[in-house]
Structure 1
């Protein structure tokens, strides 16, 4: 698994490289120090995951992530920052980032990389607790218009709670394959791109799920 690290602090980059390459399955072929580096290194290496800071010179991680996802919607971007600013969290969710972690929780970095590599979205506990407030007042949406079944609504709630496909399968007494199928169908029904957008959909309309 190839990981590109982008952070304007070179010591942080090296420390992250040491942490990640302690896992024999992970390779860090390059590191960059601003958003411009992120664009060029992504184009060169096409990493499995881009681990990136947000506040950097020349171009922010959010701006770089937005550009990368425009050209490659399948890009997996995981933000690692010291800032839990509401605006940054909202922007990361909106552009389709796969995760948002705080550097203080360094012990979560490696497990989060593994989770993102398996298709999950990862947001630290501090971030998850903010999401309902950040999504604002629930919209007045008729979920029946989307044709969502009771089981599909149950799975959306579990996704919003941060459960993996395996955990959802165990909770719902389904196979992982069946859960993946449910998610594919729901994404098509709601015209959404990924699990993160499903979680956002839930938080924006959570009153209608009750």
Structure 2
């Protein structure tokens, strides 16, 4: 796994580099603001960009927006001391793969491994905030929603609900008695119908719509 570290605190970048290298994770580069993040990402093409949010010159969120617009499959994991509501909403909209609070350094390597394997990672504190944030962000929450308007079947919408509950493909398979391969195919079809990238965006879609069905 090749990781690019971006943080405006040199002590933090050094500490992160040591933590990652102990676990045999290759640190391919280090930068200190959003502009460097964009330049280094384009040059180094890391597997994962591990990046702070609040930085001089250009924030991590602004850099993430630019990078993901050009490289939609980029894996960006935000690591910050701030669980600011606006930051979380923007991070979700841009499609970052994770948002962790810096205090819990023990979670960084597992999070990187999860993101590298195609999962999305949001710390417990962040996940607890998401439903409330999406509710307050939705000004037209009284508008009636119907899954068929999105080309979904009732079964597909129920499957999205299981994803939003945090169930893995295996757990969904055990619950509704379909093979994991079938579940994967269903989810791939659903993502295509909704033009979404991953399970996190599916969960957000469900949380936004479930009270208006």
**Is the pair's TM-score, using the shorter chain for normalization, greater than 0.5?**
yes
The more displaced of 43-52 and 191-200 is 191-200
Once residues 164 and 4 of structure 1 are traced to their aligned partners in structure 2, the CA distance between those partners, rounded to angstroms, is: 28
The more displaced of 167-176 and 35-44 is 167-176
Q: TM-score, normalised by structure 2?
A: 0.89
Residue correspondence of structure 1 range 40-189 to structure 2 within 5 A: 40-136=39-135, 137=138, 138=141, 140-189=144-193
Aligned residues of 1:141 and 1:205 also touching (Cα < 8 A):
yes
Q: TM-score, normalised by structure 1?
A: 0.91
Q: Which runs of 5+ in 2 are unaligned?
A: none
The more displaced of 148-157 and 96-105 is 148-157
> After TM superposition, which residue ranges in structure 1, 4 or more long, deviate above 6 angstroms?
none
Deviations 1:72-102 (A, max 9, x none): 1110111110100000000000011111111
Aligned residues of 2:173 and 2:183 also touching (Cα < 8 A):
yes
Closer, same or farther: CA 170–38 of 1 in aligned 2, 3 Å: farther
Aligned length: 208
Aligned residues of 2:147 and 2:153 also touching (Cα < 8 A):
no
Look at both structures and tell me which one has the larger radius of gyration over its CA atoms.
2
- How well do the aligned residues superpose, as a CA RMSD in angstroms? 1.8
Once residues 76 and 183 of structure 1 are traced to their aligned partners in structure 2, the CA distance between those partners, rounded to angstroms, is: 20
Q: CA deviation at 1:174?
A: 4.1
Tell me what 2:21 maps to.
Answer: 21
- Would you say 1:199 and 2:203 are equivalent positions? yes
Tell me what 1:6 maps to.
Answer: 6
3-state secondary structure, aligned to 1:135: helix
Once residues 43 and 200 of structure 2 are traced to their aligned partners in structure 1, the CA distance between those partners, rounded to angstroms, is: 27
Aligned residues of 2:147 and 2:157 also touching (Cα < 8 A):
no
Once residues 112 and 143 of structure 1 are traced to their aligned partners in structure 2, the CA distance between those partners, rounded to angstroms, is: 32
